[in-house]
Amino acid sequence: MAEKKSIIEWIEAMPREVIYTIMLIVLIIPLIRPLGIPVPVSARIKEWHEFIQNLPEGSYVLVSIDYGAGTIPTFEPFMLATMHDLFSRPLKIVIMTTYADGPICYKSVMDKLKPEETYGKKYGEDYVFLGYIPGGETAMKAIGENLPKAVPMDFYRTPIDQIPMLKGITGAKDFAVVVTVTPSGDVSEGWIRQWVTPYGTPYLCCVLAMMEPTMMPYYQAGQCKALCTDAHAGEYEFLIGKPGEGIKKLDAFSLSLTVLAILIIIANILYFVLKAGGKK
C-alpha cells in the first residue's frame, strides 16, 4: 500500500498540472487587471533608440526580419517599435529576411505600422522589401558584396534597377547600419562575420532573452553597437510613445517572475526540511 504523502511532500513535488494552472492564473491576471507598475527604461534600450535618432538624414538602413511565424508573439512588438523609430526619421529603409516565413512577419508588422498613412512614406522611394533571400550566412555575404547581383528583384517582382531608392546602392559599404531581430545565434553572429568584420558596418541586434549572454562578448568588444532582447519591447514602446503589446506584458512579467522565484525558494526550503527529516 502506497505511503500517504504529507502536505509538505505534496507541495515539494507539486503535480505539474497544478503548477501549470498557477502559472496561467499569474500570467492572465495582469492582462485583465493591469497592476499599474511604472515602466522602467533601461540604458540598453536608450542606447538603441539614440543610435537610430542620431543617424544622419538620408542614411540607408538595412533591416533584416530574421524571425519566423513562431516567434511573432515575442518579437513583433519590438520590431514594430523599431520600425516606428526608423520610419519617424528621414531614412532610406531596405527590409529583407533570411527566414522562409519572414515575409509573413513583414506583412504582419507593416499591416500595423501603415507607413504611408502614419508617416507619409512611399514604397520604392523611402522603403523597399527585398523578400526572402535563401542561404543564411551566404545570403548576408552575397548582399554585402554586391546587392543588385544577389537580389535581382524585390518581393513584388520589380527589378532592382527600377527601384528609385536602390539606384547606386552596391552593398554593405553604402549602409549606415544593419538592424536585425532574430532568435538564432547563427544569424546574429552571421551579420557580425559578414558585415561588421569586413566592412565595419554598425550593427544593432535584438535577440531572444536567452541568447543575450552569447551576444554579450560581441557587444563588449564593440562589434555590436546596441544589444537588446524581446523583453525590452515594452520599455521601447514607452520610450517612443507608441504603446502596444509589449507594454501590456510588463505587469505580467512582474507578477509571474516574482511568483516563480518565490515558488522555487519555497520548493528548496521544503527540500531541505524533508532532507533533514530523512525523507530525501
Partner 1 sequence: MADIWIELGIWVAALYTIFIFSFAYRDNPLFKFAEHTFLGVAVGYNFVRALSAIRKYGLDRLAGGEVLYIIPIILGILLYFRYHKTLYWLYRYGMSIIVGVGISAAFVRLIDAQFLRQIKATAALKLVTADPATTLGNIVFLVAVVTTLYYFIFTFPVLHTGGAKKVADAGRWFMMIAFGYSFAKTVIARYSLILGRLTFLLYDWLKIPR
Partner 2 sequence: MALVYRRHIPILITFIMGIMMIVQFFLVPPKPVEPYQKALAEVGEALTNWANLLAAFTIGFGLVNLFFIHGRHVTRRTPGQWYYSAWLLFVMFIMVIFGIFGDEELGISTATTYQFEWMYKWIYTPLSGTMYASLAFYITSASYRAFRARTLEAGVLLIVGLLVLFKLAPVWQVYLPQVIPLVNWIYKYIVTSSYRGILIGAGIGAVLLGIRTIIGLETGYLGRRE
Binding-site ranges for partner 2 (CB under 8 A): 13-14, 16, 19-20, 23, 35, 37-40, 42, 68-74, 100-101, 103-104, 107-108, 131-136, 138-139, 141-142, 145-146, 149-150, 155-157, 173, 198-199, 209, 213-214, 216-217, 219-220, 231, 234, 250-251, 253-255, 257-258, 260-261, 263-265, 267-268, 271
User: Out of partner 1, partner 2, none, which partner does residue 192 contact, by CB within 5 to 8 A per kind?
Assistant: partner 1
Q: For residue 139, what are the contacts with CB-CB under 8 A and spacing of at least 6?
A: 98, 133, 150
Q: Does 197 bind partner 1 (CB under 8 A)?
A: yes
How many CB atoms within 10 Å of residue 201?
22
Helix axes 72-87, 102-113, angle to 10 degrees: 50
User: Binder to partner 1 among 42, 88, 108, 138 (CB under 8 A)?
Assistant: 138
Binding span for partner 1 by CB under 8 A among 100-108, 115-123, 165-173, 267-275: 100-108
Dihedral class, residue 157 (left if φ above 0, else alpha if ψ from -120 to 50, else beta): left
Which contiguous run of DSSP H or E holds residue 204? strand 203-207
CA-CA distance, 107 to 112, in Å (whole number)? 9
Cβ atoms of residues 238 and 110 within 8 Å: no
| Three-class SS state of 59 | coil
Nearer to partner 1, 76 or 126 (CB): 76
Residue written as grid cell 550566412: 137
CA–CA dist 48, 239 (Å, integer)? 11
Binding track over 101-120 against partner 1, x by CB under 8 A: x-xx----------------
Closest distance of CB 72 from partner 1, Å = 7
H/E element, 268: helix 245-276
Q: Which does 264 bind (CB under 5 to 8 A by kind): partner 1, partner 2, none?
A: partner 2
Please give the torsion angle defined by the CA atoms of residues 37, 43, 49 and 50, in that order, rounded to the nearest 10 degrees: 140
Which of partner 1, partner 2, none does residue 230 bind to, with CB < 5 to 8 Å depending on kind?
Answer: partner 1
List residues near partner 1 by CB under 8 A.
16-17, 20, 24, 27-28, 31-32, 71-74, 76, 100-101, 103-104, 131-132, 134-138, 141, 152-153, 157, 189-190, 192-194, 196-198, 208-210, 212-213, 217-218, 220-223, 229-231, 245, 248-249, 252-253, 256-257, 260
